[in-house]
Amino acid sequence: MSEYDLEVENLVRDFAAFRAVDHVNFKVEKGSFFSILGPSGCGKTTLLRMIAGFLEPNAGDIRIRNESVLGVPPNLRPVNLIFQHLSLFPMMDVKENISFGLKRRKIPQSTIDKQVDSILERVGLPEYGQKKINQLSGGQKQRVAIARALVLEPSILLLDEPLGALDLKLREQMKIELKKLQQQVGTTFVYITHDQSEALVMSDQVAVMDKGAFEQIDTPKNLYAHPKTGFVANFIGENNSFDATVSSSDPFRVKINSDMEFNARAMTGLSTGAECQLYIRPESIVINPLQNEPMNKFSVTVKNVLFDGANTKLLATIGDTGQEIMAALPQDKRFDHIQPGERLNVGVYDDACTCF
Amino acid sequence: MPYAGRLTLYFFLTPVLLWLFLLIVIPHIDLFVISMQVENDDGDMVWSLLNYQAFFEEKIYWMTFVRTALYAILTTLLTFIITFPVAFYITKVLSIKYSGFFTILLLVPFWVSELVRIYGWMILLRESGVFNHFLLQLGLIDVPIEMLYNDISMVMGLVYTSMLFMVVPLISSLEGLDDSLIEAAYDLGASKPVIFAKIVIPYILPGITSGSIVVFMLTLGNYLTPNLMGGKNSLWFTEQIYNEFIASFNWNQGAAFGFLLLVLSTFIIWLGLKLTRQNLSRALS
């Protein structure tokens, strides 16, 4: 008995000459929250639709609780999908929507009534059974959609960017609610999104997907701190990226122009003279570092302060080169004096400079 | 309401009210008055219910009336059964690239008049027509068959004439049905027949209703098709009205029949809406 609810092996799907999903492998542990994160068009929806059964793969296998579901139509698979636009049935009320799946199973009406009441209670919408769908707010619709799927007790709940249509405040709130709900019901969630914050906040494991293939599967923290590829480094969180040349391999140093050299961390085998990309996170740049602190130090000219509350950024150019760099600007009054045109000393620790 | 606003309202409302009043309300009042009168022995008009009485006493009248109603309902049903798969195919199966082209193909026959279309069918179906010619050539029959002038050819002609008015509302309401609703039902465990019965049909019910109302009324009031394609026994109630007005020159009797047809169509549509728990304004919106 494996502890995996979902196992995907070498899955391939082509649309004519275009390979949408390219040899994808992953396993999802029972009761965990697994996210697939990638830009639009990376093949994540195709992957999800194959798991749900709306598409058949060209090659590979999908196993749910150890049983291959290839060739099983969606209505017979033990998974349920929350659609991007929720797809609640507008001609039915909340209760009819939720009991739709149960009725297909020929369960007696009294049992259905009990189950609907209990799931409505669980998603925090008791007494909402008689409401029409168009009487609900965005967040309530979301919860009805989840209740409609969860009441069927699926092995896996698939979610296709269900928060995409909500406004920012509600999205933040639903993120936390979804996570809580998942922990409470213990159902395995497979969540796809292009919004990294959704994936990072809610997930136990995140798979970063690009051009049909998985770049890295890891915990949110590791993805952020130890990206394995340049794509992940760029896609997760914000990053400054520079074209660089390796000037020495031990100690590892890279040059981004004739007179700027950085001590850095090579993430892949890079030999002297090789071209690479240097990534520096905005929040790892220290403004006015201490004199004797061992770090890469350089001076920048402030171009602009991009105020955004806790996410305020400093846009500057390095030395006299005109290469732009973003730095986080903590809003703790220390740096309120910074004005465009000013010259600042900044520093960044060696292992915060990663090269691919 | 400000003065200018009221003026604009009257400006746009006046043509509508004039049209309703002059062309619909006044003629109907006159029709009603005529239908309640008969000529007495002296040649004067007197008030009487004899016209309506004649309808109920003369078997041929109300038999035609019931026949017309039943065949109009049958035509509406058949039109729906034939056009629904077409509309579904165009909106949900075909790619968007071709669906516009196919919709135009559906509309093309309706660019010519009903009369021309019916004659087209007559050329195909008559004893010396195209179908008989080919059947004879192929040796499938020895003697030409008369395919025209019976109830089947009449209903076929009526269905053909009505299809456009059913397919257009069906296409537009099916276009409003998001494919993901069908997928959601499928995902929740519904089989294909259940999806049709519980999701597709309820969703497009307003479209079905408006299409059915139009088709039913057009069929009930059709004169040309039953007259040209129906046989001697395929009497249509509009033909009775025509006979009274034109052949017998009994306008009073004709007016009474006209009124009865109006009552009949109103009653059947009301009944249909009640049975499907629909609302007229919602169905036509």
Short-list A146, A221, A131, CA closest to A189: A146
* C-alpha distance from residue B26 to each of A176, A292, B21 (Å): 67, 102, 6
Report pLDDT for B68.
92
Across residues B135-163, what is the average pLDDT? 88
Show the tokens assigned to A134: 């168009």
Q: How many Å apart are CA B68 and CA B62, to the nearest integer? A: 10
Considering the domain architecture, whether residues B66 and B11 belong to the same structural domain is answered as no
A104 to B194: CB separation less than 8 angstroms, yes or no: yes
Question: Residue A328 in contact with residue A285, Cβ under 8 Å?
Answer: yes
In terms of pLDDT, which residue wins out, B207 or A247? B207
Show the tokens assigned to A350: 């060696």
Considering the domain architecture, whether residues B56 and B29 belong to the same structural domain is answered as no
Considering the domain architecture, whether residues B228 and B96 belong to the same structural domain is answered as yes
Show the tokens assigned to A24: 């994808």
Residue B285 scores a pLDDT above 70:
no
First to last CA, chain B: 26
Which secondary-structure segment (H or E) carries B97? helix B96-107
- Label residue A150 exposed, middle or buried (CB < 10 Å: 0-12, 13-18, 19+): buried
Contacts for B3-12 with beta carbons within 8 Å, 24 or more apart?
A: none
A80 to B187: CB separation less than 8 angstroms, yes or no: yes
Query: What is the residue whose two structure tokens read 């965005």?
Result: A138
- A-to-B residue pairs, Cβ atoms closer than 8 angstroms: 59
Question: What is the predicted ipTM?
Answer: 0.79
**Which residues fall within 8 angstroms of residue B111, CB to CB, at 6 or more apart?**
none
Short-list A238, A278, A271, CA closest to A255: A278
Considering the domain architecture, whether residues B265 and B194 belong to the same structural domain is answered as yes
Considering the domain architecture, whether residues B29 and B135 belong to the same structural domain is answered as no
Nearest CA in chain A to B202: A91
The predicted-structure confidence for B57-97, as pLDDT tens digits, reads as follows 888 888 999 999 999 999 999 999 999 999 999 998 888 88
Which secondary-structure segment (H or E) carries A34? strand A33-37
Q: Which of A54, A89, A101 is closest, CB to CB, to B199? A: A89
Contacts of B194 in chain A (CB under 8 A): 104
Show the tokens assigned to B174: 């099916």
Question: Residue A207 in contact with residue A235, Cβ under 8 Å?
Answer: no
Q: Which of A73, A80, A91 is closest, CB to CB, to B188? A: A80
Report pLDDT for A207.
93
- At B33, is the secondary structure helix, strand, or coil? helix
Nearest CA in chain B to A54: B183
Q: Which phi-psi region, left, alpha or beta, contains residue A124 (left: φ > 0; alpha: ψ -120 to 50)?
A: left
What CATH number corresponds to the domain at position B231?
1.10.3720.10
B242 assigned to some structural domain: yes
Across residues B254-283, what is the average pLDDT? 85
Query: What is the residue whose two structure tokens read 């004439």?
Result: B161
Which secondary-structure segment (H or E) carries A172? helix A168-185
pLDDT confidence band for B283 (50 / 70 / 90): low
Provide the domain limits for residue B255: 50-284
Distance of CA B191 to the CA centre of its chain: 34
B45 assigned to some structural domain: no
**Which residues fall within 8 angstroms of residue A84, CB to CB, at 6 or more apart?**
A160, A161, A162, A164, A165, B180
B185 to A83: CB separation less than 8 angstroms, yes or no: no
Contacts of B198 in chain A (CB under 8 A): 100
Query: What is the residue whose two structure tokens read 């195909």?
Result: B124
Considering the domain architecture, whether residues B122 and B172 belong to the same structural domain is answered as yes
Cα–Cα–Cα angle for A222, A178, A140, nearest 5°? Answer: 150
**Which residues fall within 8 angstroms of residue B143, CB to CB, at 6 or more apart?**
none
Considering the domain architecture, whether residues B20 and B88 belong to the same structural domain is answered as no
Q: How many Å apart are CA B102 and CA B91, to the nearest integer? A: 10
B180 to A85: CB separation less than 8 angstroms, yes or no: yes
B42 assigned to some structural domain: no
Q: Which residues of chain A have pLDDT under 70?
A: 1-2
What DSSP string runs through B125-153?
A: HSTTSHHHHHHHHTTS-SS----SSSHHH
**Which residues fall within 8 angstroms of residue B165, CB to CB, at 6 or more apart?**
B211, B214, B215, B218
B40 assigned to some structural domain: no
Cα–Cα–Cα angle for B62, B66, B71, nearest 5°? Answer: 145
**Which residues fall within 8 angstroms of residue B39, CB to CB, at 6 or more apart?**
B45, B46, B252
B187 to A104: CB separation less than 8 angstroms, yes or no: no
Please tell me if residue B191 touches chain A, with a CB cutoff of 8 Å. yes
**Which pTM was predicted?**
0.78
Phi and psi, residue A217, nearest 5°: -120, 120
Question: Residue A160 in contact with residue A84, Cβ under 8 Å?
Answer: yes
Q: Which phi-psi region, left, alpha or beta, contains residue A297 (left: φ > 0; alpha: ψ -120 to 50)?
A: beta
Nearest CA in chain A to B199: A89
Contacts of B191 in chain A (CB under 8 A): 75, 104
Nearest CA in chain B to A148: B188
Task: Of A58-67, B12-21, B270-279, give the lowest mean pLDDT range.
Answer: B270-279
Contacts of B181 in chain A (CB under 8 A): 87, 89
Question: Residue A35 in contact with residue A193, Cβ under 8 Å?
Answer: yes
pLDDT confidence band for B272 (50 / 70 / 90): confident
Interface test with A, best of B188, B199, B277 (most A CBs within 10 A): B188
Query: What is the residue whose two structure tokens read 């019910």?
Result: B205
* Per-chain mean pLDDT for chain B: 88
Considering the domain architecture, whether residues B107 and B16 belong to the same structural domain is answered as no
Show the tokens assigned to B168: 């257009």
CATH topology of domain A4-234: Rossmann fold (3.40.50)
B43: Cα within 13 Å, side-chain hemisphere: 0
Nearest CA in chain A to B189: A75
Question: Residue A6 in contact with residue A28, Cβ under 8 Å?
Answer: yes
Considering the domain architecture, whether residues B5 and B143 belong to the same structural domain is answered as no
Considering the domain architecture, whether residues B90 and B210 belong to the same structural domain is answered as yes
Report pLDDT for B193.
92
The predicted-structure confidence for A76-107, as pLDDT tens digits, reads as follows 999 999 998 889 999 899 999 999 999 998 88
**What is the domain count for chain B?**
2
Closest-CA distance of chain B to residue A8, Å: 20
CATH 2.40.50.140 in chain A: give the residue spans. Answer: 238-355
Show the tokens assigned to A193: 């999104």
Nearest CA in chain B to A147: B188
Short-list A293, A242, A286, CA closest to A264: A242
CATH 3.40.50.300 in chain A: give the residue spans. Answer: 4-234
Please tell me if residue B183 touches chain A, with a CB cutoff of 8 Å. yes
Across residues B22-38, what is the average pLDDT? 90
Q: Which residues pair with A188 in a beta bridge?
A: A156
Question: Residue B153 in contact with residue B229, Cβ under 8 Å?
Answer: yes
Nearest CA in chain B to A74: B187
Q: Which of A53, A87, A101 is closest, CB to CB, to B181? A: A87
Closest-CA distance of chain A to residue B202, Å: 7
Q: Work out whether strand A33-37 and strand A79-82 pair parallel, antiparallel, or are unpaired.
A: unpaired
Superfamily of domain A238-355: Nucleic acid-binding proteins (2.40.50.140)
Q: Which of B184, B194, B205 is closest, CB to CB, to A87? A: B184
Show the tokens assigned to B59: 């078997």
Contacts of B187 in chain A (CB under 8 A): 52-54, 74-75, 80-81
Which secondary-structure segment (H or E) carries A248? strand A240-249
Q: Which of B178, B189, B202 is closest, CB to CB, to A105? A: B189
Considering the domain architecture, whether residues B70 and B25 belong to the same structural domain is answered as no
Considering the domain architecture, whether residues B28 and B54 belong to the same structural domain is answered as no
